[in-house]
């Protein structure tokens, strides 16, 4: 399949893990991909791998918490590929996350965390909107089932991402831009292993109807579908890909 031939896509947080897999999958279906991340070394390696596999990709450094950096990324993409068709807001502080309670987390750390994990998606959407509104396009935000379970400020950020997705669906719809979110359950990545104690992971897996951790590849189908024309009448939705972890009515 080549659903994205001739189209450009930005994937933030694409230097590793889920973001890297999204970028590779989009390139495999013909997209010209901007691998966007703070980690230059790893991000360049992902872009180089995509190119070695026959795809088209470039690396661009971005700090999604900084509106000026987000704007610069959008302008870079237009200069490089002629426009912006798709955006995946995947960047987050996760692998290096400091666990704490909402009641006791240091305020400066909380504000920094939220500026990336929630506000970053808004900064990037605001940055691409002027370039996307003429021809339309689609956006996917990375949420989490943490939005419906106790996960302290991480869960709160994902509640914000869900609300942001739904509110922006109305504001972007008039420009022909769709926006949806994917809410993964526990995913087997380096970041998850670094943050979540093994005993907690084992307990989560025991409670899943499908008795295994998810993989980044398990999320690809939903991401590509939501970005593609196949989902042309789908916007403002939160798609759980979680092995049955969360039931929502």
SS3 221: helix
Check whether 88 has a pLDDT greater than 90: yes
pLDDT of residue 198: 79
Cα–Cα distance for residue pair 18/216, rounded to 1 Å: 5
Tens digit of pLDDT for each residue in 138-164? 999 999 999 999 999 999 999 999 999
pLDDT of residue 18: 96
Q: Which two tokens stand for residue 232?
A: 């042309």
Tens digit of pLDDT for each residue in 19-58? 999 999 999 999 999 999 999 999 999 999 999 999 999 9
Please, are residues 208 and 167 in contact by the beta-carbon 8 Å criterion?
Answer: no
pLDDT of residue 60: 98
Please, are residues 139 and 101 in contact by the beta-carbon 8 Å criterion?
Answer: no
Cα–Cα distance for residue pair 69/121, rounded to 1 Å: 13
Cα–Cα distance for residue pair 83/120, rounded to 1 Å: 21
Check whether 249 has a pLDDT greater than 80: no
- In this prediction, residues 98-120 reach a mean pLDDT of 96
Cα–Cα distance for residue pair 118/103, rounded to 1 Å: 19
Which of 22, 94, 110, 154 is the catalytic position? Answer: 154
Q: Which two tokens stand for residue 60?
A: 């661009």
DSSP 3: T
How confident is the prediction for the chain on average, in pLDDT?
Answer: 95
pLDDT of residue 55: 98
Q: How confident is the model at residue 97 (pLDDT cuts 50, 70, 90)?
A: confident
pLDDT of residue 226: 98
Domains for the chain: give ranges and CATH numbers: 8-241 (3.40.50.720)
Tens digit of pLDDT for each residue in 175-233? 999 999 999 999 987 777 777 777 877 888 899 999 999 999 999 999 999 999 999 99
- 154 is an active site residue: yes
Express as a percent the part of the chain with pLDDT over 70.
99
pLDDT of residue 237: 98
φ and ψ of 88, to 5 deg = -115, 115
């Amino acid at each position: 399949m080549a659903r994205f031939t001739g189209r450009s896509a930005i994937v933030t947080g694409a230097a590793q893990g889920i973001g890297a897999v999204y970028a590779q999958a989009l390139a495999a279906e013909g997209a010209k991909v901007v691998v966007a991340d703070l980690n230059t070394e790893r991000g360049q390696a992902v872009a180089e791998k995509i190119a070695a596999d026959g795809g088209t990709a470039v690396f661009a450094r971005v700090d999604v918490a900084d509106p000026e950096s987000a704007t610069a990324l959008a302008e870079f993409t237009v200069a490089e590929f002629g426009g912006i068709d798709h955006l995946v807001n995947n960047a987050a502080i996760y692998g290096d996350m400091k666990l704490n309670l909402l009641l006791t987390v240091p305020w400066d750390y909380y504000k920094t965390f939220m500026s990336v994990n929630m506000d970053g998606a808004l900064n990037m959407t605001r940055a691409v909107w002027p370039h996307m509104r003429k021809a339309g396009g689609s956006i996917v935000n990375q949420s989490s089932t943490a939005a419906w379970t106790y996960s302290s400020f991480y869960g709160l950020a994902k509640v914000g991402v869900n609300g942001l997705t739904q509110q922006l669906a109305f504001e972007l719809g008039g420009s022909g831009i769709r926006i949806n979110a994917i809410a993964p359950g526990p995913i087997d990545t380096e970041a998850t292993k670094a943050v979540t104690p093994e005993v907690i992971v084992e307990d989560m897996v025991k409670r899943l109807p499908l008795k295994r951790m998810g993989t980044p590849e398990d999320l690809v189908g939903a991401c590509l579908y939501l970005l593609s024309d196949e989902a042309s009448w789908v916007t403002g939705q939160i798609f759980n890909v979680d092995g049955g972890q969360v039931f929502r009515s």
